[in-house]
Structure formats: C-alpha cells, structure tokens
Chain A
Amino acid sequence: MSTAFYWSIAGTAAGLVLVGLWGILTRKHILRIALAFTLADTGVNLLLVWSGYLPGRTAPIVDGTISASGITSAVVDPLPQAMVLTSIVIGVAVAALFVVVGVLASRRTGSADVRRMKELRW
C-alpha cells in the first residue's frame, strides 16, 4: 500500500515539473512564467523529499519516542530535507528578484509580454 503512496507522490511531483516546464515554454505573460517556475520548483522539491522518503518512519527529529540505538531504522533521510529547505529559500529569492526585474522590464516595454523583449537577438 505504501508503494501506491510512494508512486503517487512521484507522479504528482513529475506532473508539476512537466506542467511548469510547459508553462515556461508557452506562456507569454512574464508573471505567469514566474508562476510556472514556482510550480516546477515545487515539483522538484517534492521529488527531492520523495527521494529521501522511507515508509513507516518518522521525521528525523530525535525525541522521547525514538531510542538512540534504533534510530537508523526509525527516521527518514534528513539530507534531502535539508536540501529542500535550501532549495525553497533559493526558489523564493530567485522568484522575488525575477518578479522585480519582470515588473521593471514590463514597465519599460509597456507590456508584460516576453515576446516584446527581443530587441537583442542573433
């Protein structure tokens, strides 16, 4: 049963990444692209945590319920979680900067359409 849980999370995460990529490739509005990025980021983060998931265990926080000796079979992998924390913060930092840049860019070109931002090419 836990395999169904496992695979459905993977499916959700992969689906989010793909939808996000699709959005990045096809949307025109700069904020919409930023949203698509956020979606893809969320998917990737899910995948990361998913990669450290072990069934039937608890969070990697040692409290009274876990004995020090049996800890290796009691908690999930902490490293992916640590990485996701970093990734979330980075994601929001990039998103903030992107939104600011996007806002100023669209005020400059008079439109939030990325197709208008191709003065530089070839």
Chain B
Amino acid sequence: MVVALAVFLPLLGAFISVWLSRRKPRLSVIVSRLFLAGGLHSTIVLSIKLNAWSFSDLGNSIILRTGVGAPPLSINLEATGGAVIAAIVVYVAAILGISRLTSRNVKTLPLLLSLVTASLGLLFATDLFNSFVFLEIGSIITIGLTAACRCRRRWEVAVKVALVSGLVTILYLLAIVVIYKTTGELRFEALGMLHGFPALLVSGLMLTVIMTEIKAFPLSGWGLDFYEGASPGFAGVYSATWSLAVLMWSAGILPRLPIPNLQILAWIGAGGLVLGQFAGFRATSPGRMMGYSSAAYASILLILAGTTTGHDYLQLTLVLMIFAAIAKFTVFMLADPENENPLKSAAGNLLLLPILVIAGIPPLPVFWAKFKLLSILAGVSPLMLAAVVLGLFLEAVYLLRLWSKRPVRFLKNGRLVPAVTSLLMAAGAIWLTAGFWRSLSFSGSLLSSSTLRILFMTVFGAGTLLTLPGAWNRIKGERSYWFWMLLSGISLTFLPMAGNGITFYILWEVSAFAAVIAVSRGSRAAAGTFWFAVFAAASGFLLLASIVLSRSMFIAPGIPLILVAIAALFKLGQMGAHLWSVRAYSAAPATMSAFMAGTSSKAAVFLLVVAALGTGAVAMPAGSVLAWAGVLTALSMAVMAALSSDYKKVLAYASVSQMGYILIGLGLASVMGWTAAIYHTFHHFLFKMILFLGAAGVIFRTGTSDYNRLGGLIRRMPLTFTFTLISVIAFAGVPPLAGFGGKWFLYNGLIETGWLPIALIAMFASVVAFLYAFRLLHAVFLGQLSTVNARVKEAPLALLVPQGILTAALMLFSFRPTLFLEHIVPAIESLPGLKGVAPVINGTIVTTPLGNWNAWAVGMMVMGLFGFAFVFYWLSGKRPKHVGQLDIGFAGELPPSAEEVHYAGNFFKPYRRALAFLPRIHAGKVFSGITEVFKIAGDSVRAIFTGDARTYLAHSLIFLVIVLIYLRGGI
C-alpha cells in the first residue's frame, strides 16, 4: 500500500491537475504539492520501515504486487532500501523544483508529477518490459518539458532527445525480443538465464541502451547538449529525478548483464572517464560542464559495476548518485546560464558547496564513496586507478573553474532550494562521516615523535589564533572570511593528530578548500583563486592516490612517496607550482595571506616529514631531487622577489623561496638537515607571520601594496616598522637574530653530506634574500612619505598585538635558541633512519663537527656594542634636531614632491640587466603550455560531439557493433 501510494500518488495528482490547471491554476499547484508531499511521506515511511538510513541493509525490500497472480506472470514493484532513498531525493527535488518549473506555465504540472511517478516506477521496477514503459514515459516528459521551457535552444535539444530516445526504444525492444524468445521471461532475472549468442547480443544491446540513457562517454553527446541547452530549472529537476532514477535502474541492470567478465565495464568506464573529462576540460558553458560531470558519474557507475559487488556496490552507487544528483540540482537551481551577468555574492557562496560535493572533497558525502571506490581500484589495477584519479581531477578542475568564474546569476526568490539542498548535503556529510568514523583515527601515530607533533600543532594552532583577530579587520571589498580561515586552521591544528592516511587526507583537504574559499573572498582574488584551487585539488588527488595505493599504511615505499612528494611540493607552491602560491598569497585578503604563507604551508612540511619517515627516511636519490628542487626554488624565487614591486607579491615570492631551504634540509635526510628544516619551519612561521601581518596593517591603512605608492611609513607606523625590521633581519639570516640558525644548521648539514653545489647556490640565494629584504624595508617604510599617506594611522591593535607576541617569541628564540633546540634535537635524533651526527647542545653553545655557535654570547655582544655606540653618541654632545623629509642636500636644488623623490620602482635595475642573458621562463607559460596540451587533447576528443543528432545515434550504433565484436572475441 505504502509503495503504491509512493509511486502512484503523483500520478493521481497529475490526472487531477491536467483538468484543475485549466480551471484553478494556483489551486492545482497547491494540490500537486499536497500529492507530492503525500508521496514523500510514503517514501519516508518506507525508508523507516526498511531501516534504509543505516545504509547497511540496502538490499531489504518491500514488494508491491500488481495485477493478478504472482511474478513472473504479473509485475512486482520492489522498493529496496537504496531505491527508497533515491525516491526521497526525487520527491524533494520535485517539490523544490515545482515552483521554478511552473512559474511560467502551470500546465507543465501533469508532466512534472508524471515524471515523479515514472522515476519511482523505474526505481522500483523488477521487470524489463515494465522498465521500458517507464523509460518511455521519462523520455516523453523530457522532450515535452524541454520544449515547454523558455530557453533559446529548446527545440534543438528536444529534437536530439527525441531522436536518441527513439533509437533507445528500438534497441531496447530488440533486446526484449531476444530475451523473451530465448528465456520466456521478462523479469530482470531473465538476463541471467541467457547463454551463448543471445546472451552476447543482449549484453551488447542493453549496454548500449544503458550507456546512452545514463549519458556515459562516448554516448553522452545528447546529454551534454541537453544540459547546455535545456532551461536550468528543468535540467536541475531532471538530474535529480529522472536522471537519478535511470542511474539507479542501470545500477540494478548492469551487474546482471550476461557478460563473462564484468570488469570490462570498469575499463569502459575508466577510459570514458579520462577521455570524457579531457573533453569536459574544454567546456565553457556551465550547463555543458554539468553535462560532462554527469558523464563522469555515469562512467563511475560503470566502473563500480565492473569492480564491486554486493553491499559495497549498492552503498557506493547510492551515495554517489544521490548526492551528485542533489548537488547538481542545486547548481542548476542557482544558475541561469542564459544570463551573463556576474554573480551576486551569495550565489558564489552557495554554488561552492554543491560543486565541492560533486568534485568529492572531504568530508562531503560523495568523497566517502569516491575514496572507497579508489581503495577498491587500487586492488584491481593501478592503471585504472591512475585513469580514474586523472579523470576525477580534470572534473574537479573544470568544476572549480565553473565556480571561480561564476558565470551564473543568483535568483531573487530561490533561496529556499539551496537552503534545503545544502542542509541535505551537510546532513549527508555528517551522516556518512559518522558512518566512517571508525575508520578515522586521531592517535597521532603518523608521526611518532610527540615533540614534533606538539611543535607542528603549536605552529598551526598559534598561527590560526594569531591571525584570527586580524581577519575581523577587513578592507573594503573583501567579504567575511574569518570562519573559513578558522575552519582551515582547526583542521590544520588536528592534522598532526591524524592516526592514519584517511584522517590525514580529510583534514588536509578540509583545510585546503576552506583556505580556497577564504582566499576567494579577497577583493582582487579572482586571479589567484582558480589556480590555488586547481593545485589544491591536484595535491589532494595525488595524496588520495598514494593513500589508497598503500592500503593500510599511510605510505608504502615506491610510487606513493613520489606522489606524496609532488603533492607536498604543490602544496608548498614550489618552483612551478609557485604559480598558485604567489598569486594566491598576493590576491588573498591580507591576513589570510599571513595564515597561508606562515601557517598552512607548514602542513606540507609535516606531510613530507611523515612521508619520509614512513619510507624509512628519504632515500638518497629522492632526497637529492628534493634538495635540488628546494635550492632552485630558493634562488629563483628570491630573484623574483628582489625584482617585483608589490609588497605582498614580494612576501609571497620570499615565502616560497624560504620554503626551499626547508626542502633542502629534509632532502638531506640527516639529523643536521632535519634540525635545519624543523628549526627553519618554526622560525619561518614566526617571521613570515610578522611580515604578512605587518603587510596586512600597511595595506589596511593605505589601501595599496604597490611599492611606488608607499614609502616613509616609519614615521606613521613605527611599531609595524619595528616588528617588520626585526623579522626582516631574522629571515635575512643576519646574526644575532634567529634566521641565522636555520642557515647555519643547513650549511653544516650540506657540508657534512658533501652537497657543495647545493650549499653554494643556497648561500647565494640567502644573499639575494638580502636584496629584497632591504628593498621591502626601504620601499614601504623608509624613503619619502607620500602625501597621500601623510595621515595614515598605526595598524590596528588586532594586527599589532599578534605581531608583538610573535616578535617577542622571535627575540626569545633568537637569543636563546637552545631553549628550542634542546627539545627538538633529541626528538629528531630519535627518529628512525636519519644519518649523520646530531648537533651537541651545551648550555648556550651549539656545537657541530664543523663549528660552533653561541647565540647568547653573540647576541649579548651585539647588544653591548650597539648599546655602547649608542650611549657614546648620546653622551658625546648635543643632539641633532629632526628636519622635514624634503630637507635634503639635493645638489643645491629644491627637491620636487615626496612622491618623485621616493625611489622604489625598478630598484635593482642593474640586476635585471645582468640577468638579461637568461631566457625568461614563466611558470605561467609552462602551465599554459600544459593546459594547451590538455586543451588539444580535449578538443580532439570532443570533436566527436559534432552537434548533429544523427552522429550521436551513430555513436550508439558503432559502440554496439564494437561491443558485440569484443564480446564475441573477434569478427
């Protein structure tokens, strides 16, 4: 009864509304809603009866018998747990979509309601011919509603859908002829009774039918056109009702196909995924992107059918399909591709969640299914795994582009839909995360040394806390981002506690994408966000691949290490990947830059530490590769920093450059090298935070980060200057401040290991650092104070206090580095697999086999000498008086305005000239080269979608022929 109500209530509603909609249009909408609500209620009752929400017994079912007698004579509708949950989604989408679809013409109501019945019928179907009837209803409604919605290209789409569904009808009926003729049955079970040539033919026909219906690449041409050309309102409803039902139905049929080796489905799916997503990479219209994404999900369904069985299969398909459907529904409901206006702010935010869901970012629900799928694939074939990971990455890229370009507009009255669907997706995330909770671990066992763990947690936690106050001060044009920063920071803080790969991965991704969101809210973020997101996705997928490849452990020797290393390098934004880091650091809200450069970049260091330990320390060749990568980054980025004239960009380059030293240290795989790396990690955190926070203050007050428009701020912002000066001296490596220590350990390690060329370049890079360090101080704080900035105030306390705290810490550890080292060095020494000797700490003196360093003594000496000179001067006569800034000896002339006298741009012109012999390689060009290759690949793939509907039909038929030939084992 309940099943019947669930399936047929909408149909009754449709029958009523066809009449009522002419008489009382508004009433008919209400009545239809009531019928839908009744159906929804029934499905919910069903789901509770079936205990479907545990996602564990999805095979349980309630049967509705129809007609006379029992199957196989009559037809049953079988409401399985999975189907019921999908049915709920169908209902929710229909109820939410109803106002959008009927807003122009209420006469579409009967079609919409019938679509719900057809979807549910298909979901619950157990009979092949019965499925056929429901399929036909769906096709007809699709054609009708496509044509009834007002959008420019509806006719073209309707014709294509009609043609394709016509072909599907023919092929499906042919399959039914063969099945009935051979077995005398029409239930799904009949498929299993086939043998020999009929089995082969039926498999070919059904596979073609299913792949065309679910729009799997390469039979997805019509689907792409449909999603692009149909009105977003209908496309959304379609994807969450009919498309979902077809997918779930196909999921029921595919494993029953009488193919001897079902794995071929997985190969078809994997190949289609890669090729299809290459094509999708080139898509420009949002609707088409969603179409390609839908093709990706169809391919994933094939992969699932080919590699998983039983409970896993049910669960994975259900989770993947329903959440993708909800997400896609949301995207379409938010989007209006006809309109090219830029988004209002809300739409961008709302669009992100569904897109992240589709892309499978943890802990959003689809992620869990994708993760499980990848773990299964790791056991099937690494090649397939690679293909799938690549495909998913490409999908994520264009989805993120869809979001970052925001070509869609927010609807004025459509806030209910995203609210409800977001709630559903969030609930799914919580639900599934809770379900997978057992597989998460927070024992911190990835990094055995508790000291290092605490160190990293301190860095992450303190970094978050100290940047948080600054995030409240926003520059005009920026949107609130503190929440996302806090989320990113909290996940980071827990990162060292991760006990296994999956936990690590989730925290990593949450942190990364929260950061992406935060960055996107900067006033000039558009340039930086996309590549940031792409690299975040790339490093995430690499990490994921390595986790599933290494199964139980986090990292196994061999391939995964390389993947992890690349993931970490991407995250660090090392040379090549600096494309994102520099852009994102300079584009993000100023405080967010501090957080990213100072704090979250250390997550990659942590990853490398964990990875290196997991493999029993970095092996020599890998280590030297790492070190070379690091040193080249350090030098090239330092030169870039010296030559650029944007405050934040310089800091960004500098930050990337400094990360290079950490890489060298880790690459050394010796105690000395690691001491250098960890020491530098911590101190880089301190001084880079100070620098970026200082920059945040300057930008906040002056509104610019252009060197040419700054200058002389020492007179207006003395505290900021002091903090910046101290941290600049520190990172330039000038004793007595802390930066020297890292370099000292590093060179000790390098000389000890005998990597002299690297040492030489590293030393050179550290001197180049001096160039940008001075330039920074000069261009911003010294020189002439621009008249525009003549009245700026000192930075707000929210920025100054954290800087003060950090500076105090920096000073403390500068003069007493042993306070830090006496904990760190033993911890590093105790790590397995590191070679070389440890530095010896004796009181305030640190001794290595090569030399010694007494920071305390040196510091005291410098203070003493400085104090002496100062006091000597102070006491030796009358103090001079301060004069105006233009009161300078200027060859006897009066200097013009302050702006013209301030010398900041093109500062190291001779350097640029001296470098002129080098070919200028832009990372941007390298990546646009890679992108170009991808584009060409994508173009050549998508060339098959000519737009001529008959070509799509030919695809299906050619595919049928190829499958038949393959199944037969040749011609």
CB-CB contacts of B929-971 with A at 8 A, as 1s and 0s? 0000000000100110111111001100100000000000000
CB contacts under 8 Å to A, within B604-650, are none
**Complex alpha-carbon distance, A104 and B167, angstroms:** 21
Query: B947 and A48: CB pair below 8 A?
Result: no
A117-B949, A118-B156 known; A101-B173 Cβ under 8 A: no
* In the complex, chain A residues whose CB is within 8 Å of the CB of B159: 30, 98, 101-102, 105, 114, 117
Contact for B166 among A17, A48, A98, CB less than 8 A: A98
Q: Which of B133, B143, B946 contacts A86 (CB 8 A)?
A: B133
Main DSSP-derived SS at the A contact region: helix
Given A114-B948, A117-B159 in contact, is the A122-B177 Cβ separation under 8 Å?
no
Contact A94 B166 (CB under 8 A): yes
Task: Kindly state the separation between the CA atoms of A45 and B170 in the bound complex, as whole angstroms.
Answer: 9
Measured between beta carbons, the chain B residues less than 8 angstroms from A118 are 156, 946-949
Asked if A60 CB lies within 8 Å of chain B CBs, one says no
Shortest B928–chain A CB gap in Å is 21
Q: Decide if the interface of chain B is mainly helix, strand, loop or mixed.
A: helix
Give the residue of B155, B157, B942 whose beta carbon is less than 8 angstroms from that of A122.
B942
Which of the listed residues A17, A104, A121 has the most CB atoms from chain B within 10 Å of its own CB? A121
State in angstroms the CA–CA spacing of A52 and B179 once bound together.
12
Asked if A87 lies at the interface with its beta carbon under 8 angstroms from chain B, I say yes
For residue B198, give the distance in angstroms from its CB to the closest CB of chain A.
Answer: 11
A33 at interface, CB cutoff 8 A = yes
Q: Are B174 and A104 interface neighbours, CB within 8 A?
A: no
CB pair B177–A47 under 8 Å, yes or no, is yes
**With an 8 A cutoff between CB atoms, is B181 at the interface?**
yes
> Mask for B171-205, Cβ within 8 A of A = 1, else 0?
00110110011000010000000000000000000
Decide yes or no whether B129 CB sits under 8 A from chain A: yes
Q: Are A97 and B948 in contact (CB under 8 A)?
A: no
Residues in chain A near residue B140, CB distance under 8 A: 93-94, 97
Interface size class of A (residues with CB under 8 A): 35 or more
* Structural contact, A119 and B156, CB atoms closer than 8 A: yes
Instruction: Tell me whether A24 and B167 are in contact in the complex, defined as CB-CB below 8 angstroms, given that A97-B143, A101-B162 are known contacts.
Output: yes
Q: Which residue of A lies closest to B174 (CB)?
A: A44
Task: Give complex CA distance A40, B172 in Å.
Answer: 12
Cβ B163 vs Cβ A24 within 8 A: yes
Task: Give the distance in Å from the alpha carbon of A20 to the alpha carbon of B173 in the complex.
Answer: 14
Pick from B156, B166, B169, B186: contact of A120, CB under 8 Å: B156
Which B residues are in CB contact (< 8 Å) with A79? Answer: 180, 186
Chain A stretch 108-122: residues in CB contact (< 8 A) with chain B: 108-109, 114-115, 117-122
CB atoms of A114 and B173 under 8 A apart: no
Q: Is the CB of A25 within 8 A of B947?
A: no
Per-residue CB contact flags for chain A residues 21-46 toward chain B (1 = under 8 Å, else 0) read 10011100010010001001100110
Nearest 9 interchain pairs by C-beta = A121-B947, A118-B947, A105-B155, A120-B225, A51-B181, A101-B158, A117-B156, A44-B173, A98-B162
The residues of A with any CB-CB pair to B shorter than 8 Å are 17, 20-21, 24-26, 30, 33, 37, 40-41, 44-45, 47-48, 50-52, 79-80, 83, 86-87, 90-91, 93-94, 97-98, 100-102, 104-105, 108-109, 114-115, 117-122
New A-B contacts (20) at CB < 8 Å, excluding given A44-B170, A51-B180, A122-B282: A24-B166, A37-B170, A44-B173, A48-B176, A79-B180, A83-B129, A83-B176, A97-B140, A98-B143, A101-B143, A104-B155, A105-B155, A109-B156, A114-B163, A114-B948, A117-B155, A118-B949, A120-B947, A121-B225, A122-B945
